Structure 1
């Protein structure tokens, strides 16, 4: 066998860098999370992305007495540079209204 191959029989160049080597133009962001209980007795756990362009996208899983009850997702607008406590409160309020309006 002559030379190394790089997947699917293609020959790897000696100076070829791995596809994911080096710095990426996309920054790694950490997800935030909140949990609580809605006014109608469902518990939830939610993950959200850090604010981008003043918007926060969230996804929540709901349970009732420990049993899966559903999922919802949403977006909170107008939160540029909001402090963490304000951000959490806005996400919790949106989760509450999204779930209780549907149930």
Structure 2
């Protein structure tokens, strides 16, 4: 790529990035957002958690040792963490760290 092409690519990326930041303010100027946006705002974190749980448990063979013990205990730990602290970010990172520790240190 030449120097001009690099600057054009940077400019296009900057405009796209700026537009994605400004998009909600342009299209949702009115005081009450649409009901679909309210639904997404309210339930999206829980939906992401369910997707992560399904992704974690999808390839487990419960009939083979260790019977999914690491994954299931990680899901239980994450649920406990979330129910006690009620913070999605801490729950996700804490559960991930717990799962990675189990994978690394327990055979």
**TM-score, shorter chain, exceeding 0.5:** no
- Could you tell me the TM-score, scaled by structure 1's length? 0.31
Higher RCO structure, 1 or 2 (CA under 8 Å, sep 6+): 1
1 or 2, which has the higher strand percentage?
A: 1
